[in-house]
Amino acid sequence: MQPAIATHGGASAIPDEVKEARSQGVQRAARAGYCVLREGGTALDAVEAAIRVMEDDPVFDAGQLLPPRVGADLNYDGEVELDAIIMEGKELRSGAVTCVQNIKNPISLARKVMERTDHLLLAGKGANQFAKEMGIDEVDPSELVTEMARKEWEEYREFNKNVKVSYTNRADFGHEHETVGSVAIDKWGNVACGTSTGGITGKLAGRVGDTPVIGSGAYCDNAYGAVWTTGHGEAIMKVNLSKTVLSYMEHQGLSAQEAADKAVGFMHRRVGGAGGAIVLSSSGDLARSFSSQRMAWAFAKDNSVRYGVDPGDDHDGGKIA
Amino acid sequence: MQPAIATHGGASAIPDEVKEARSQGVQRAARAGYCVLREGGTALDAVEAAIRVMEDDPVFDAGQLLPPRVGADLNYDGEVELDAIIMEGKELRSGAVTCVQNIKNPISLARKVMERTDHLLLAGKGANQFAKEMGIDEVDPSELVTEMARKEWEEYREFNKNVKVSYTNRADFGHEHETVGSVAIDKWGNVACGTSTGGITGKLAGRVGDTPVIGSGAYCDNAYGAVWTTGHGEAIMKVNLSKTVLSYMEHQGLSAQEAADKAVGFMHRRVGGAGGAIVLSSSGDLARSFSSQRMAWAFAKDNSVRYGVDPGDDHDGGKIA
């Protein structure tokens, strides 16, 4: 099997001034993951490596060129709570964390959950306690919070200060989705997927979005392929978007592209949510479908990279040395 | 539409000495939920009422006849962490909580998440903070812990004290699964499902099992029906068991029973897990499938109750006055 890896940097209305930087960021991550695959690494290794590159990359923090930490949006209480998942398609093993604080690379903690516990998902205090036992250093919370994120949070609080009690129908803040993700297939034909996020500005403390929820934010099975999703997390969860994509491939014999388009369309019709899915089929074909304005993506295969941001983009990113 | 409701008390090797009490417990819950439906309540109202009856019923705490609190298994650190989900099939709205502490009726907190927030799932400290803001009283932790649960935890810790670092391959403790759940359909043809659990003895702090994960522990859609599952949570999550049942009905035109059997069989083959699913189809038919030894269930429809515990059971539980 020809190894391949795709990366993305979140579906949202990416501002023009950071479009180029984000596009470069997903390409760097795809190149890093591809090198892992080319050197004989597994799809899991490649996905983890690619996501770490993006977690460490400041361009995914709302475009602020700050010290090399991915920033995260602040929850209603002004705290950072991070989510991540990683999964492989041979035995359907996976690991995930949610509402974890002060961890620089949640994707690697998710992998530890997969490999070192009997569980699939650890939340909050327990997830941080597990990180400590695994020897993963906590970072100072300030390292994960940028001025841009704090400013957005302050505006959000000001705008919503009268609606706290009901919570629902709060202003749609047009917030940046900080989600990054990757899907890969290795030379043995094993697929893997992963995704990592800081969530959305003003989410309630303890909010678990689609990202760490298996079948919603990500899913893979060697029989069909690997999927990750990004967009309005609650809508994605309502329809189990990742699993829905694969079920169209399984039961209706659709291609990855047809299945992704159909699933994203179904979500929009059934629950009104915007978002996108990227699918890497078990034959190594990439499909992208998104109803948001932009999504930065890159795809590395056969020693070269392709990439795009706007709908319809499919640019040549050159060779991988 | 003829309203109907089913309840269950967890799939496991239920000891003979508590078999009768558990059977009575699920029947009481089904009767309570049915009365809500008969009086014009919604499927959501009925599911919540039925689960509250079981959450408050001591027979679901490993058979100890103690004060009226459902006890919960203790996690590795000796704490109680509760999970619950509730969902309706018209607009696919749902609410869930995980790792919540000191709450007597997690199912009602889950419903508050559905109705009073923009989110679907709240975890840990954030979920408890939300409960407080909703005016839900916390109970003393000791009210949720029985002697039986503490004793099982102590034995578990003793047995596993040398394997803490790796976590995996810990002794299978044959622990009781405290999961309770319900599916219902109301006179308008709307389906709903819900489930509530204390998890498994010795789970790591922060462990999120299948119960609060939409598509795994529960799912429903008016077009097909309502599903909940019980058994080995991590296996159920790996295959998104609830969603898989409905996808067989959607894509292959299988009956609820055929779909449940096929999905439980697939889970067992693909990832080796034991468990069960109960499905109430959108035409009001009940299907049960479980690979565990016993599962207490009851079904109320047409002013009468049917029930069972052992495979093949289908007893007449009499009229509902």
DSSP label of B147:
H
Q: Which among A168, A234, A240 has the least Cβ separation from residue B240?
A: A240
Average pLDDT over residues A5-16: 82
Contacts 24+ apart (CB under 8 A), A158-167: A160/A202, A164/A76, A165/B133, A166/B116, A167/A204, A167/B116, A167/B117, A167/B118
> Using CA atoms, how far apart are residues A4 and A52, in angstroms rounded to an integer?
17
DSSP-assigned letter for residue A223: T
* B156 touches B18 (CB < 8 A): no
Q: How close does chain A come to B235, measured CA to CA in Å?
A: 9
Active site residues of A: 179
User: Tokens 């993506």 identify what position?
Assistant: A297
**Test the B interface: residue of A80, A210, A214 with most B CBs within 10 Å:** A214
For residues A104 and A86, what is the distance between their CA atoms, to the nearest angstrom?
16
Residue B125 in contact with partner chain A when CB distance is under 8 A: yes
Quickly count: other Cβ atoms within 10 Å of residue A53's Cβ.
Answer: 22
pLDDT > 60? residue A293: yes
Neighbours of A45 (CB within 10 A): 18
CA atoms of B118 and A273, how far apart (whole Å): 13
Task: Report the run of H or E that residue B217 belongs to, with start and end.
Answer: none
Q: Which tens digits make up the pLDDT trace of A167-186?
A: 444 434 444 457 899 999 99
Tell me whether B134 touches chain A (CB under 8 Å). no
Give the mean pLDDT of chain A. Answer: 87
DSSP string, A251-314: HH---HHHHHHHHHHHHHHHH---EEEEEEETTS-EEEEE-SSEEEEEEEETTEEEEESSTT--
Both tokens assigned to B231: 């058994």
Query: Quick check: B215 and A219 CB within 8 A?
Result: no
What are the tens digits of pLDDT across the range B182-207?
A: 999 999 999 999 999 887 778 889 99
Terminal Cα-to-Cα distance of chain A (whole angstroms): 20
ipTM of the complex: 0.90
Kindly report the pTM of this predicted structure: 0.92
Mean pLDDT per 10-residue segment, chain B (321 residues): 92 78 93 97 98 84 41 77 96 97 94 96 96 91 74 75 48 56 97 90 89 97 95 94 98 97 95 91 94 86 96 94 85
Other C-beta atoms lying within 10 Å of the C-beta of residue B159:
13
- What one-letter code names the amino acid at B39? E
**B213 and A CB contact within 8 Å:** yes
Amino acid occupying residue B133: E
